[in-house]
Amino acid sequence: MRKFLFILLAVMTLLACNNANTGKTGGEPGAIFYTEYDTPFGMPPFDRISFEDYKPAFLKGMEEEAKEIEAIANNSETPTFENTIVAMENSGRILTRVSRVFYGLRSAETNDSIQALAVELSPLLSEHRDNINLNEKLFNRIKTLHDDTTGMNLNTEQYRVLDNYYKNFVRSGILLSEAEKSRLREINKELSSLTLAFGNNLLNETNDFKLVIDNEEDLAGLPEGVIAAAAEAANAAGEEGKWVFGLQKPSWLPFLQYSEKRDLREKLYKAMYMRGDNDNKNDNKQIINDIVNLRIEKAQMLGYKTHADFVLEESMAKTPENVYKLLNDVWAYALPQAKKEAAELQKLIDAEGGNFKLASWDWWYYTEKLRQQKYSLNEEEIKPYFKMENVREGVFEVANRLYGLNFRKLENVPVYHPEVEAYEVLDADGSHLAVFYTDYFPRTGKNAGAWMSSFRGQQVIEGENIRPLIYNVGNFTRPTGTTPSLLTLDEVETLFHEFGHALHGMMSNVTYSSVAGTSVSRDFVELPSQIMEHWAFHPEVLKLYAKHYQTGEVIPDELIAKIDAASKFNMGFITTEFVAAALLDMDYHTQNTVKSFDVREFEKKSMEKIGLIDEIIPRYRSTYFSHIFSGGYSAGYYAYLWAEVLDADAFQAFVENGIFDKTTAAKFRDNVLSKGNSDDPMELYKRFRGAEPNPVYLLKNRGFIE
Ligand SMILES: [Zn+2]
């Protein structure tokens, strides 16, 4: 649930390997982006793209799109769907092409030059976007079409595309006075710089801290694989012969789970949760103040009470009230469960003669012990069955059994880093469906977390169905010199999750790019991803892919039973830390008065109000809550839980008909996975399931009710 999906190009970031320059033939800088790539499947030619290409291509891309938009706005012919909406859909191709590569790399393989260029481009792009969104002549053409569609014979998708354009203009401020419009431009520019600064500070804070261990005794309790990874991290950091732990999750989490050194757990965990809150040059508190206040000002200028009202209008949830209702309903089950869990952990501490009160940096350690006591489930015993390559084969096999897809490894195609792998995805009838890239290991220069996005989206241009180039990026456990990448259960779940987003992108089959693939509302977009998590640990599916990396032995029934029995374990904690963060997000964004505030105090009050216990902190504290302050999830973090109402209910259809039932799968593909945003999401869902989702399956799924 902590996983990201980049929906908005504008919020994405990334890097091109510094490689790139060698062997490149001359040519005008940037020109590589001016035409379709002459590569297999039109994959970006990373081997021929260099840093020097980006800026000229962005400038040219903006210039070209501005010209195209002017031509549409000044067209002397009567507005038609074709000469206005379709023309807009087809505009800005250079800018789209360079943006997808640049921002893709800014997230997955960045460097200082890329970071700096992103900062430089941000206000320019924001202004460019505003120049389009505040173009009155253009809007008047769209309004003419929108006001009276009789005789236009629009199909559902076309009407929705037209309506989206109209609403987008209104929501971007086209109906404001000139003075307000100019203030809005300022706000947008500031917001885009502030959200970027937030992310950069967080990346610095994450990379700057290192827990260096030089005394072997301080490794007590840590599994061998974790120690080996820490030794390699030390080598990479120039600390040969020592062990280094950092603030990327694959590093801090196992340390918290297994380290017997309570003081070191505390040190590492505090460093993690104080990111952006250290009163240094990377502090995010003033930035949060500025972002929240500018969002209030903007929302109210546009006629909304709060930023949340503005955002949620375009979601399935529609209003802050509906969001609070879902979150509070689930909270009522989660908090009491978390308190029970805390009491159990305290008992364990007391039984060991530990003379202290459970603290947040103890939770994982004692949870791991309790998990072993209760289920004799040791993650280290399980990991050998989850070699990354086997898990990836597993998710491909699921896609094959459900939808008939086949994955063919592509060799000698351009990728942006040697660890990236690419596949051609073939549909059931053997036709080309998409290209799929995987990039699964953490590196300096890669953002934390996991996400899906694309180097090219799906659309139909002049009758030709352009197929997408989709990628998944993750930060999973690296292979070491002696063992392959062995994934934790959490990482397995994440891999399946992101693959679900990838399917949504790959199976897209609409006409217009603006409604293709994952371009749906945030509380709907997690349905295709979260439903995949249900397959990850299903016994029938485990038997297909969970094979011991050394012996090839299929995971034994006894281990499957343990995984199943333990699947609801710690669910009070997991739900509580999630809902706490989602409520924090809503509390920030339902404020209706611009005023400066103390971030620590705000967060404290927000958590006191719901009675969060000291032993748990929100999944994201404010100063590193990048989903809401530098990603596209403000007033939207709840979306994962909202979508779980959908995914739990949707998977129930497979439980009822068989988890590989082809008819159910076809219905899901035809009504959800292929439809993008070409129709109302609840309508799409009802066509698949025959009814609105029943929230009871979410509560069952989390073990809160029988
Ligand atoms: Zn997701």
Mean pLDDT of 527-550: 97
Residue 292 has pLDDT above 90, yes or no: yes
Question: What does pLDDT average to over the chain?
Answer: 94
pLDDT band for position 12 (50/70/90)? Answer: very low
Q: What pLDDT score was predicted for residue 23?
A: 40
CA of 529 to the centre of ligand 1 (A): 6
Q: What pLDDT score was predicted for residue 130?
A: 87
Percent of the chain past pLDDT 90, that is, above it, reads 89
CA of 420 to the centre of ligand 1 (A): 20
Write the pLDDT tens digit of every residue in 300-322: 999 999 999 999 999 999 999 99
Backbone angles phi, psi at 80, to 5 degrees: -130, 165
Residue 4 has pLDDT above 50, yes or no: no
Write the pLDDT tens digit of every residue in 556-608: 999 999 999 888 899 999 999 999 999 999 999 999 999 999 999 999 999 99
Residue 21 has pLDDT above 70, yes or no: no
Write the pLDDT tens digit of every residue in 417-445: 999 999 999 999 999 999 999 999 999 89
CA dihedral (12, 13, 15, 16) in degrees, to 10, reads: 30
Backbone angles phi, psi at 456, to 5 degrees: -155, 135
The answer to whether 103 and 133 are in contact (CB under 8 A) is: no
CA of 639 to the centre of ligand 1 (A): 10
476: nearest Cα among 446, 510, 441:
441
CA of 123 to the centre of ligand 1 (A): 28
How far is residue 356's CA from residue 352's CA, in Å, rounded to a whole number?
11
Helices (H) and strands (E) counted in the chain, each on its own, are 27, 9
pLDDT band for position 137 (50/70/90)? Answer: very high
Residue 261 has pLDDT above 50, yes or no: yes
Residue 85 DSSP class? I
Q: What pLDDT score was predicted for residue 480?
A: 87
pLDDT band for position 91 (50/70/90)? Answer: very high
Q: What pLDDT score was predicted for residue 409?
A: 98
How far is residue 466's CA from residue 485's CA, in Å, rounded to a whole number?
35
> Of these residues, 498, 533, 577, 644, which one is catalytic?
498
Percent of the chain past pLDDT 70, that is, above it, reads 96
Mean pLDDT of 486-496: 95
What does the chain come to in residues?
A: 706
CA of 240 to the centre of ligand 1 (A): 38
The answer to whether 326 and 312 are in contact (CB under 8 A) is: no
CA of 218 to the centre of ligand 1 (A): 36
Q: What pLDDT score was predicted for residue 703?
A: 93
CA of 528 to the centre of ligand 1 (A): 8
Burial 415-432, CB ≥16 within 10 A → b, else e = bbbeebbbbbbbbeeeee
CB 65: neighbour CB atoms within 10 A?
21
Mean pLDDT of 335-354: 97
Residue 24 has pLDDT above 50, yes or no: no
Residues with C-beta atoms within 5 A of ion ligand 1: 3, 5, 526, 529
Instruction: Please confirm, yes or no, whether 498 is among the known catalytic residues.
Output: yes
CA of 500 to the centre of ligand 1 (A): 8
CA of 2 to the centre of ligand 1 (A): 8
- On the 0-12 / 13-18 / 19+ scale of CB atoms within 10 A, 217 is exposed
Q: What pLDDT score was predicted for residue 688?
A: 98
625: nearest Cα among 457, 480, 449, 465:
449
Q: What pLDDT score was predicted for residue 350?
A: 97
Q: What pLDDT score was predicted for residue 27?
A: 80
pLDDT band for position 16 (50/70/90)? Answer: very low
Could you tell me where the beta strands, DSSP code E, fall in 447-566? Answer: 451-456, 459-461, 464-466, 469-473
First to last CA, the chain: 23
Q: What pLDDT score was predicted for residue 10?
A: 33
pLDDT band for position 26 (50/70/90)? Answer: low
Global confidence as pTM: 0.86
The answer to whether 113 and 21 are in contact (CB under 8 A) is: no
Residue 702 DSSP class? T
Mean pLDDT of 24-34: 82
Residue 3 has pLDDT above 60, yes or no: no
